[in-house]
Amino acid sequence: MPRTPQELTDAELDAHVLARLELLGVDLSVLPDDDPQAPADRRRILESARRFLRSTPGAIAGFQMDVQDVPPLMYPSAWAGATGETP
């Protein structure tokens, strides 16, 4: 039976977040693990993602984005306005 984000451990939720980001082409491995001087680091991003997933209504938290639906193609008028062409 699927569990809610509130029921997952931090490590399980981190694995979920990293897998979803990887599917979207986002690689957090290029960031420092924990560097208070850096604008962003893996620890803070994962902490923020866990907090978001644990406090967000299920309809948003369960949103499944198709990796082929990049924002310009999801919103063709924005694509046409930015490029002058249609997708």
pLDDT of residue 53: 86
Q: Which two tokens stand for residue 12?
A: 């399980």
pLDDT of residue 47: 96
Number of domains in the chain: 1
Residue with tokens 């979920």: 16
- Helix (H) or strand (E) holding 52, with range, is helix 42-55
| Segment-wise mean pLDDT, segments of 10 residues, the chain, 87 residues | 79 93 90 93 95 80 66 56 58
Which of 2, 9, 21, 1 is closest to 54 using CA atoms?
Answer: 9
Asked if 86 contacts 79 with a C-beta cutoff of 8 angstroms, the reply is: yes
Longest CA–CA separation in the chain, Å: 48
What's the domain range around 57? 5-83
pLDDT of residue 87: 52
